[in-house]
A and B are shown apart, each in its own frame.
Chain A
């Protein structure tokens, strides 16, 4: 199949303008059958925009697209779907109010006598999902499953739809290793059949593992296309960022943690997280590790009062404390950067500036507006400090690229000068450059004496900044690693050990 030198999909001269932004400028992308093509670039480089132009979700302002040599002009996602392009857009784009099976089959449900054959649909869905190692009940609502499950469903749907091309925009952002491997095996099967796959991610090791070639975007322009076999990781990063990046290999000096800031005893919430004890000290990063659905997010939410705990007690510097809602927590200078930024984080229509000062303003109260100059100063400070890429501070935040939204949310909470900062998947969808910056930032905040609680599915990252790591499984705390014990392998072991123990228990 590699002998065929004609690209399946060839886009040339793609341009796209947004008010105040040139998102794409004369971009070319060629996909050959059987290849996995990485699309790389910083946050806001234009990757997602390019995808949307290719599938017709956006109307493009210039350029031609050919599929199998035929020029096509997709007007909406439906027409590209029908042409054989399956797509997973960034952020899960499925319908939480429909069942898993319906999400898989929407628009092409199996029919009998003109009516949808529900039973067959569910059966087929179960079959498809089991290829991804997912044993869910396809008849249940999609919203009853975690983001990770939804992500896999989205991938499965796109795979089913892709006759010629499969496009994956950051599909692995909330998946853990096993799922990623399963997905890769599916991709390999597809490429063996001659499909072309576009893969967007910020995980360079995944790129090197599965991709054949990469096109690199910077500020809406193609800076180069290269064969990955011939390129080193540093080359790629340098092309992406336009500068060298010092790798974070340094392990933190784990310092001396300060006083206990928050101490939780028997803290838990029915149906969400089993009661646990935890002490958070100033100048300490506590990492939360675990598999998907292990209850990391639930822990974060309970501590912040977003899904308040219904048992146990909390003490702040020894004094009893009620954490019944986020406001109570914010009053004690807690902050939570949520996992799902689209629904729990950003206020889409508001400007970036307003999003950044929102929490600070909320804490100040209704009748003490922040002075204009101060707002401006805060916003500009964090845009510079976190390198948020935007056309202007007046841009509605929903128009920012995913990674930049994440940074703006971080800015919102940093602006409140928190004593305890809770980060749930802080680096989801963040590019390599920013990833390093955020790790450095966490380090710096810790050194300044802040207490941090960080949930992440990236073990290397956790290992890099955590003073202690709490391991969760099945909504229960099952272990704790500290100091020298901390390593990815140890985490994996902690999870697995408990699994073994649990099995033995069942057998006994």
Chain B
């Protein structure tokens, strides 16, 4: 009977599998390790961002700054590696520290000044993109051998697919987030705050600490996504990742998490990401869509997925009777 709470998750997975099957039916070459590997690699940075976004959305908040943080991280790394002799690993640590602290600062403002996350993180979005501009408006290439080495770490599967370290990193991030969200007190407090901040406070949840941590996690993961993105493109560019926040939010929501907070699964987000990636891949395979039809089709597919989910949910809950306490009481 427990599965009723996980229903949205199962529905997302079912939606993904169904859609993938349909794609393969139309373009048989979509069933290849290449496509699978690409789904993982190309969406690695988005996936990692979406994990952070899942934390935030589960707590009833939203973080619009992630796209800018990714851009900032990339530019920062590129500029630092160009102008200094710091090892990339050290630069990674520094930039993760910066983005985590930035997230924490937003969390502090949100909690202590009681301002809506939407607006605080919108200001954060302007700020981070602005700082990226200030560092460099030009796109700065990164050609450190360490980057080359990281990029050379992949497993070439039969069929030509390259499973890269960034894809692995994304999967690990998802696994870690699952553990944290479901098996630690902090994770449960995230759900608690999302259920009702006021009630959570009355139940003794340390709201201040948890909120700050949530946004710190989101900022830190956006920083990590920025590192992945810089690996992906070997460069830092201040205009990178514009609008990523909306993609991440869409992925989280398609993954079955409620924007109102308190309900959802990070595993769902993973499949949300995969669904978004599938839409992109499908459009590339189709290759006949003009620029405008591309946008329209993305919109229509987004809508279709949402409706498919609603439909599946409706069909399944129609059969599951309402929980009955009287039956359970002795």
Give residues in A with beta carbon < 8 Å to B.
Answer: 57, 76-78, 81-82, 87, 89, 93-99, 102-103, 106-107, 109, 111, 114-116, 118, 133-137, 139-141, 144-146, 149, 157, 161, 271-272, 291-294, 474-475
Q: Is B330 an interface residue (CB 8 A)?
A: yes
Give the docked Cα–Cα distance between A491 and B322 (Å). 28
CB distance from A379 to the nearest CB of B (A): 28
| Smallest beta-carbon distance B330→chain A, Å | 5
- The verdict on B185 contacting chain A, using a C-beta distance below 8 Å, is yes
Does A78 contact B204, Cβ atoms closer than 8 Å?
A: yes
Inter-chain contact A106/B325, CB cutoff 8 Å: no
Cβ-defined contact, B5 with A76, below 8 A: no
Query: Does B85 touch A at the CB level, under 8 Å?
Result: no
Residues from chain B with Cβ under 8 Å of A94 in the complex? 199, 203
Cβ of B205 and Cβ of A78 under 8 Å apart? yes
Minimal beta-carbon separation of B26 from chain A (angstroms): 39
B: which residues have CB within 8 A of A?
1-2, 5, 179, 182-185, 188-189, 191-192, 194-196, 199-206, 262-263, 321-326, 328-330
Known: A97-B194, A107-B185, A116-B184. A78 touches B325 (CB 8 A): no
State which of A99, A102, A109, A136 has its C-beta within 8 Å of the C-beta of B325: A136
A87 to B1, CA, bound (A): 31
Which residues on B sit within 8 Å (CB–CB) of A97? 191, 194-195, 262-263
Asked, given contacts A135-B329, A141-B5, A144-B323, whether A116 binds B204 with beta carbons under 8 Å apart, the answer is no
B262 lies within 8 A of A95 (CB): yes
- Residues B192 and A106 in contact, CB atoms below 8 Å apart: yes
Total inter-chain residue pairs, C-beta < 8 Å: 107
The 3 closest A-B pairs by CB, nearest first: A144-B323, A95-B195, A97-B262
18 residue pairs bridging A and B, Cβ less than 8 Å apart: A76-B201, A76-B204, A78-B204, A89-B202, A95-B195, A95-B199, A97-B195, A107-B189, A109-B188, A116-B185, A140-B323, A145-B325, A157-B203, A161-B204, A271-B321, A271-B322, A293-B325, A293-B329
Contact A77 to B262, CB < 8 A, known contacts A271-B322, A474-B326: no
CB distance from A49 to the nearest CB of B (A): 14
- Residue ID in chain A nearest B261 by CB atoms: A97
- Measured in the bound complex, the distance between the Cα atoms of B322 and A10 in whole Å is 47
Across-interface contacts of B324 in A (CB, < 8 A): 293
* CB pair A115 B179 closer than 8 Å: yes
- Cβ-neighbour of B2 out of A77, A111, A139 (below 8 A): A139
| Bound form: Cα–Cα A102–B195 in Å | 13
A499 to chain B, nearest CB (A): 12
Chain B residues in 8 Å Cβ range of A77: 201-204
Q: Which of B194, B205, B322, B330 contacts A107 (CB 8 A)?
A: B205
Task: Tell me whether A106 and B205 are in contact (CB under 8 A).
Answer: yes
Is B204's CB under 8 angstroms from A107's CB? yes
Inter-subunit contact A116/B2 (CB<8 Å): no
Q: Which residues of A contact B188 (CB under 8 A)?
A: 98, 102, 106, 109, 116
B133 to chain A, nearest CB (A): 41
Q: Which of B2, B196, B206, B328 contacts A135 (CB 8 A)?
A: B328
Chain B residues within 8 Å of A141, by CB: 5, 323
Within the assembled complex, what's the spacing in Å between the Cα atoms of A115 and B189? 14
Least distance between A471 CB and chain B CB atoms (Å): 15
Expressed in whole angstroms, the minimum distance between the Cβ of B5 and any Cβ of chain A is 6
Known pairs A57-B201, A95-B200, A109-B185 / 10 extra A-B pairs, C-beta < 8 Å: A81-B204, A93-B199, A95-B203, A97-B191, A99-B5, A102-B188, A107-B189, A133-B329, A136-B329, A144-B325
B189 — which chain A residues lie within 8 A by C-beta? Answer: 106-107
- Shortest C-beta distance, A56 to chain B (Å), equals 10
Chain B residues within 8 Å of A157, by CB: 203
The docked-state distance in angstroms from the alpha carbon of A424 to that of B2 is 31
| Chain A hits for B1, CB < 8 A | 137, 140
Q: Which of A78, A89, A98 contacts B206 (CB 8 A)?
A: A78
Contact partners of A135 in chain B: CB under 8 A: 328-330
Most chain B CB neighbours (cut-off 10 Å) among A57, A107, A136: A107
Task: Name the A residues within 8 Å of B326 (CB-CB).
Answer: 291-294, 474-475
Q: Do A115 and B183 have beta carbons less than 8 Å apart?
A: yes
Tell me the minimal C-beta distance from A289 to chain B in angstroms. Answer: 15
- A141 CA to B7 CA in the complex, in Å? 13
The residues of B that contact A87 with a CB separation of less than 8 Å are 202
Query: Which residue on chain B has the smallest CB distance to residue A109?
Result: B185
In the complex, residue of chain A having the shortest beta-carbon distance to the beta carbon of B208: A76
A98 touches B202 (CB 8 A): no
**Residue in chain B with minimal CB distance to A96:** B195
Min distance, Cβ A163 to any Cβ of chain B, angstroms: 13
| A57 contacts B202, C-beta separation under 8 Å | yes
A384 to chain B, nearest CB (A): 32
B8 CB to nearest A CB, Å: 12
Kindly state the separation between the CA atoms of A406 and B206 in the bound complex, as whole angstroms.
32
The residues of A that contact B263 with a CB separation of less than 8 Å are: 97
CA gap between A273 and B268 in the complex, in Å: 35
Residues on A with C-beta less than 8 A from B2 are: 139-140
**Please, which residues of chain B bring their CB within 8 A of the CB of A149?**
325, 329
How long is the Cα–Cα vector from A141 to B323 in the complex, in angstroms?
Answer: 10
Contacts of B192 in A (CB 8 A): 95, 98, 106
* Assembled-state Cα–Cα distance A372/B326 (Å): 48
Query: In the bound complex, how far is the Cα of B206 from the Cα of A111, in angstroms?
Result: 18
Among residues of B, the one whose C-beta sits closest to the C-beta of A76 is B201
Within the complex, what minimum Cβ distance (angstroms) separates A104 from chain B?
10
Nearest chain A CB to B4's CB is how many angstroms away? 8
| Chain B residues within 8 Å of A114, by CB | 184
Contact pick for B328, options A99, A106, A136, A272, CB 8 Å: A136
